[in-house]
Amino acid sequence: MTQLQPDINLPHHDHQTIRYWVDERIWGHRIWDNQTPWLIFLEFAGIAESAHRDGSLLDERGSYYPLLFRPHQRILLRNVLYNNQILPFILDRFPDDGRAWREWTSWMQENARGVAKRDFDYLQDRFSGFREFARLISMLRTSTVESESNRRWSSRFLFPFGESCLYEDLNINAANKVSREYINFGRTGELLYLMLCRSSSATTIVPFLQKMVTNQNPWNTLVALLQDDEQEHREQRGKSYLPYTTHTAFDTLGADILHLFQLDLPGFDAYPHIALMSSMHVMLYQMAVSSQILGITCPPIVCEIVAPRKTLVRELSINSYQYNSQLSAQAVTAYIDSITSSDEWKAAESSSDAYPRCKTMLLDQVVWPRDADDYDKAHEPGTMIKHLRQSALSRHRQHAGNVHRSYGRSIGLISKRGTNKLRYAPNDALLKSLILANVSDRMEFKEFLQRLFMRYGIVIGEREADQSLEESEFDSKVFQSNASRLEQRLSSLGMLRRLSDACAYVLNPYAETAR
| Torsion on CA atoms 407, 410, 415, 416, rounded to nearest 10 | 110
Neighbours of 229 (CB within 10 A): 9
**Residue 161 DSSP one-character state:** S
3-class secondary structure, 274: helix
Q: What H or E segment, with its residue span, contains residue 131?
A: helix 130-141
pTM, to two decimals: 0.95
Exposure class string for 67-104: b at 16+ Cβ within 10 A, else e = bebbbbbbbbbbbbbbbbebbeebbeebeebeebbebb
- Residue whose C-alpha is closest to residue 196's, from 38, 289, 55, 57: 57
Range list of H helices, 341-443 = 343-349, 354-366, 381-398, 403-410, 428-438
- Residue whose C-alpha is closest to residue 63's, from 207, 252, 197, 186: 197
242, 8 Cβ separation under 8 angstroms: yes
**Domains and their CATH numbers in the chain:** 34-185+217-235 (no CATH), 301-309+418-514 (1.10.10)
pLDDT in tens, the chain (515 residues): 446 778 888 776 788 788 889 999 999 998 999 999 999 999 999 999 999 999 999 999 989 998 999 999 999 999 999 999 999 999 999 999 999 999 999 999 999 999 888 889 999 999 999 999 999 999 999 999 987 776 789 999 999 999 999 999 999 988 889 999 988 999 999 999 999 999 999 999 999 999 999 998 999 999 999 998 777 888 999 889 999 999 999 999 999 999 999 999 999 999 999 999 999 999 999 999 999 999 999 999 999 999 888 899 999 999 999 999 999 999 999 999 999 999 999 999 999 999 999 999 999 899 899 888 889 999 999 999 999 999 999 999 999 999 999 999 999 999 998 888 999 999 999 999 999 999 999 999 999 999 999 999 999 999 999 999 998 888 999 999 999 999 999 999 999 999 877 789 999 998 754 44
Q: What is the 3-state secondary structure (H, E, C) of 55-122?
A: CCCCCCCCCCCCEEECCECCHHHHHHHHCCCCHHHHHHHCCCHHHHHHHHHHHHHHHCCCCCCCCCHH
- Residue whose C-alpha is closest to residue 187's, from 52, 74, 19, 18: 18
Structural Rg of the chain based on CA atoms: 26
